[in-house]
Amino acid sequence: MERAEGHMTHDMECEKLLLALIIRGGNEEFDYVRKDVCRDDFHSEAHRRIFGAMEEARFDMGVFFFQGTLVANGELEAVGGPLYLAELTATLDRYTDTKLLCLRIVSLAAERKERALHALSAIASGKTPRPTA
């Protein structure tokens, strides 16, 4: 978890758990998640690519072929390869509330966007933004 000025800016474990829930839950879980979460809400570039591949590869039969989409787009190794995708589902060793994970990811994404807008505003007004830790 990365922190800036004492506030968390992202939660990698939360992102991994949400992706794992989608992998295990298939289209029904994905449909539920994408009501609240979009690709850009993920902090990790790898997780954005994985979620994007899930969006691209969605089939009505209830099966995700997103790994094939990652291969076709030349992104499989960039997200950590097949081993990383397999490891995602290994994180599901306890009950996880999908809605809470969605809210957490969206909330952290909104905070990152707000911080970026504040920094841009400060630059535009000639003020130098404070560096974040």
What backbone phi and psi angles, to 5 degrees, belong to 127?
Answer: -90, 145
> What pLDDT is attached to residue 60?
41
Res 62: pLDDT: 39
> Cα separation of 21 and 88, whole Å?
9
Per-residue pLDDT for the chain (133 aa), expressed as one digit of tens each? 444 455 567 788 889 988 988 888 888 888 889 899 999 999 999 999 999 988 888 754 334 578 888 888 999 999 999 888 888 877 676 556 788 888 888 888 888 888 888 888 888 887 765 555 5
CA 18 → CA 11, 22, 87, 132, distances in Å?
11, 6, 13, 27
By the 10 Å C-beta count (0-12 exposed, 13-18 middle, 19+ buried), 30 is classed as buried
Helical segments of the chain, H only: 12-33, 45-56, 66-72, 81-90, 98-124
Task: Set out the domains of the chain in order of their start, with CATH numbers.
Answer: 11-124 (1.10.860.10)
Kindly report the pTM of this predicted structure: 0.69
